[in-house]
Amino acid sequence: MFEFINALNDPNIPFLRYALIAGLLASLSFGVMGTYVVARRISYIAGAISHSVLGGIGAGLYFQAKYGLDWCHPMYFAVVTALGAALVIGLVSIYARQREDTVIGAIWAFGMAVGLLFIAKTPGYINPMSYLFGNILLVSKTDLWLIIGLDILVVGLGVFFYNKFLAVSFDDEFTKLRGIRVEVYYLLLLCLTALTVVLMVNVVGIIMVIALLTLPPAVAGYFSRRLWQMMILSVVFCMIFTAAGIGLSYSLDLPSGPTIIFIAGVVYLLGAVFSRLIKRFFASFGTTKQRNL
């Protein structure tokens, strides 16, 4: 533990500090949007968006290396691809409901295929593993600014439209009849989810990012009576999982992404077991009390 804190202050390994700051900052968006994703039950859509992001990253890497275009930062391409995927899936699910799952699957795999093709043709050696499973060495100072900017945008809109997103997620027919343009809010929800997914691509990778989006709210759900309580707890859990994961991965010399997800998964499973036991305990307590009356 001390070793990790010392390492954070070590000027020779700034990436560890950047990764931790990136993880803690991104946790804000993850807690807020992850709660909506879990409540609205669209985690498979978030999965498709995050996987398709590889297409953007691949294109960015390719143009950067091949034509020396420095502004072609893979993260910018990732943002654009994620938004594009969100809009396509959203429009298809609004206007052609029965084909939704096919389109989600197609975008999921197609984005990855495009990304891997670009990476294969990019001059020099690039290990796709870094993008698939995360690599904190990739987190740079520029990324931190990007994360701060997107964080403000996502959390700002996510909190401002809280009541609308809550209503759309809970009962979209009634919301529509109140004159709210539910389609617009659904697309906005998907776009904000897309931006959120991009924030942690370098820390946990595109394949596992979906777990960090859904597991903290799933754990928070055991203790929450309101959606906003679930959000606050999700932010806290997401911060704990990322910080503990990065710390543990440094101390034990493990890859950071899988360590973070492993911790989140273990806590979720323990939560599932204990919450059932607790409920059963209260249920049996309730019946004995009734019997005594």
- Residues binding another protein (CB under 8 A): 39, 41, 160-164, 166-167, 169-171, 173-175, 177-180, 221, 224-227, 229-230
- Give the shortest CB-157-to-another protein separation in angstroms: 9
* Distance from C-alpha of 164 to C-alpha of 166, rounded to nearest angstrom: 5
Choice between 153 and 254, CB closer to another protein: 153
Question: Which residue's CB is nearer to another protein, number 141 or number 276?
Answer: 276
DSSP string, 183-241: HHHHHHHHHHHHHHHHHTHHHHHHHHHHHHHHHHHHHHHTT-SSHHHHHHHHHHHHHHH
Nearer to another protein (CB atom), residue 95 or residue 145: 95
Determine how many CB atoms are found less than 10 A away from the CB of residue 261. Answer: 23
Nearest approach, Cβ of residue 72 and another protein (Å):
36
3-class secondary structure, 123: coil
Q: Which is nearer to another protein, 79 or 155 (CB)?
A: 155
CB closer to another protein, 159 vs 277: 159
CB of 227 to another protein, least distance (A): 6
Cα(206)–Cα(211) distance, integer angstroms: 10
Asked whether 130 and 258 are in contact (CB, 8 A), the reply is no
* Nearer to another protein among residue 27 and residue 169 (C-beta): 169
* Helix (H), strand (E) counts: the chain: 13, 0
- The structure tokens listed for 44 are 């498979």
Residue in this structure with the two tokens 């899936």, named with its chain if needed: 89
Angle at 108 between CA 78 and CA 207, to 5 degrees: 65
The CB-of-40 to another protein minimum distance in angstroms stands at: 9
CB 5 → another protein: shortest distance, Å?
36
Q: Considering the complex, what minimum distance in angstroms separates the CB of residue 190 from another protein?
A: 18
Comparison of 174 and 285: residue with beta carbon closer to another protein = 174
- Determine the residue type at 181: R
Q: How far is the CB of 211 from another protein (least distance, A)?
A: 19
Q: Say if residues 227 and 35 touch (Cβ distance below 8 Å).
A: yes
